[in-house]
Structure 1
Amino acid sequence: MTQSTPYVLSGARNFRSFNGYRNADGEQIKPGKLFRSGALQHSSPNALQHIRDEIRLSTVVDLRRPNERELTPNPDVGAEQHQICVVKNDSMYLWQAFVECRLDRGECEDFMLNYYRLLVREPAAEGYRQIFRLLLEDRGPLLFHCSAGKDRTGYLAAVIKMALGFDADLIMRDFLLSNEVIRNSGHWSEMREREDIPDEVDWESIAPLLMVNEEYLKSSLDEMHKLSGGVDAYLSERLGLDGAARTELRRILCTA
């Protein structure tokens, strides 16, 4: 089956559409229906104008913690804002350790693997349940985002595709696309200047924090199997997506 690449918006952090890929039944997510991104505050004026005037979002779901939202509040894009924090604990200690060069690569990798397991468990699952309830209300064009648009957002994008019957290899390929999008955007160079990160920081060592890895999403899948015995059971038991809900979600989001 032929697959195309989702639309990527230049000038916005990891902002991309969901259409282009097809599931096992040949359906794709309706164009203009669902989007994902990093923090909108870092978007260029042209990108923000495009979001307001062309994409015309009806709903924005912000997955970030309160302190993140306070540091970089969302600009007005003409949409209803929902603040649904999926990771309750504050991980600023990790950022401070990173800036002070106190983490090696193995510690960074271990942190991220555990982080992706936490996304599967409560209380993160409650936040994701809320988002699926919004999706099932058929609110029109919806964007969900976190800070970089790769972890909390990338996990949710993968779970949405699981619920819609997309192939596991395709889900992983789209998950890993964040690396290419972020690398091409100059996001980390911008972050280094903005956060005044010391020159002695070993970027190779902290690369696991800055990019996504196949093992991260696999750790989430392993946790789903541990909790519920499999992905389908997890979707039903933990996210409220039984057969009827998934059929309705496909009706709302997908087209032939």
Structure 2
Amino acid sequence: MPNRLLNIKDGHNFRDLGGYQTTDGRTVKWRQLLRTGSLANLGNTDLTTLARIPVTQDIDLRGQAEVQQVPDQVPQTATYYHLPVFAEDETDASHSNEEIAKQMQEPGNGYRHMLTVYSRMVTIPSARKAFRQMFNHLLSNPNGATIFHCTAGKDRTGMATFLILSALGVPRETILKDYLLTNEVTADFRKSWLTQMKAQMPATPATDILINNRRALASVNIDYLKTAIGAINDQYGNVQHYLSDYLELSNEELHELRDHYLE
């Protein structure tokens, strides 16, 4: 069985969605759907690894400013598509420490901010357009793998993964486990990053509040995704109606998606 975590040296949270079973007994194909963090720092070794798969589509869910600041390093085998979920990064994954510190002075601000972000990810027009176009590209990629990513590979990417796996018929429990896997595979990186940040700041209660808020921003929480699911259920009844009524995926398209990505 292939490894779920890809062997990428200069990137974080590169994972394969292959191997997940669906409710009808089929399985998601390996090396077809790759959810990842930023491709901006990939070197030649990593690009060669992705080209050998081969990755043929790179779907970038980041905002325009993020793309301009740190553009993707695109495998030579892939076509690049920019599909911004937000016009600007609302997840704070790309914002400076100074920008975030101004917003994160109150206890719980990080957690509350992410609840708002997830609610908006399933309701705003730019997200609807991005996710619909994402499915269009998945349907038009008969050969090779698709990478879809944001900056940290956890929020916009996590929502995209939820929608893709839901469309393929993967059980909700499996999808939630995949979502939370981000915390496991990025644990060392996040711990080192937060420890270094705290060491550079004065030891005050305000510092502790800021660090706790940054921890909430840098990780995933089941409450975040369930907030999005709740918004979907409130407006459309369930995710299948969201896919068919809001994203306008036809039954034929859903069948085609499953035929291509399941075995």
Of 148, 153, 165, 2:157 maps to: 153
Of 168, 192, 199, 1:164 maps to: 168
State the alpha-carbon separation in 1 of the partners of residues 115 and 87 from structure 2.
17
TM alignment of 1:55-134, pairs within 5 A? 55-78=53-76, 79-91=78-90, 96-100=98-102, 102-123=104-125, 124-134=127-137
- Superposed displacement of residue 90, structure 1: 4.8
- Answering whether residue 225 of structure 2 is matched by residue 217 of structure 1, we say yes
Structure 2: which 5+ runs fail to align?
none
Normalising to structure 1: TM-score of the pair?
A: 0.87
Does 93-102 or 135-144 show the bigger shift?
A: 93-102
- Superposed displacement of residue 33, structure 1: 1.0
Inter-CA distance 46–149: structure 2 relative to 1 (3 Å threshold)? same
State the alpha-carbon separation in 2 of the partners of residues 4 and 35 from structure 1.
13
**Dislocated runs of 4+, deviation >6 Å:** none
Of 138, 154, 169, 2:141 maps to: 138
- Answering whether residue 32 of structure 2 is matched by residue 33 of structure 1, we say yes
- Superposed displacement of residue 198, structure 1: 4.6
Give the counterpart letter for 2:118 in structure 1.
Y
State the alpha-carbon separation in 2 of the partners of residues 188 and 68 from structure 1.
24
* SS across alignment from 1:212: coil
Does 237-246 or 171-180 show the bigger shift?
A: 237-246
RMSD: 2.7
Does 199-208 or 169-178 show the bigger shift?
A: 199-208
- Superposed displacement of residue 246, structure 1: 1.2
Is the contact between residue 4 and residue 15 of structure 2 (CA under 8 Å) also seen in structure 1?
yes
Structure 1: which 5+ runs fail to align?
none
Normalising to structure 2: TM-score of the pair?
A: 0.85
Is the contact between residue 17 and residue 33 of structure 2 (CA under 8 Å) also seen in structure 1?
yes
Of 234, 252, 256, 2:260 maps to: 252
State the alpha-carbon separation in 2 of the partners of residues 243 and 120 from structure 1.
21
State the alpha-carbon separation in 1 of the partners of residues 141 and 213 from structure 2.
43
Is the contact between residue 64 and residue 87 of structure 2 (CA under 8 Å) also seen in structure 1?
no
Does 104-113 or 55-64 show the bigger shift?
A: 104-113
- Superposed displacement of residue 100, structure 1: 4.7
Is the contact between residue 20 and residue 28 of structure 1 (CA under 8 Å) also seen in structure 2?
yes
Deviations 1:106-140 (A, max 9, x none): 11111101100111013211110000011111343
Inter-CA distance 29–217: structure 2 relative to 1 (3 Å threshold)? same
* SS across alignment from 1:40: coil
State the alpha-carbon separation in 2 of the partners of residues 169 and 105 from structure 1.
30
TM alignment of 1:234-253, pairs within 5 A? 234-253=242-261
Give the counterpart letter for 1:31 in structure 2.
W
Query: How many residues of Structure 1 are paired with residues of Structure 2 in the alignment?
Result: 250
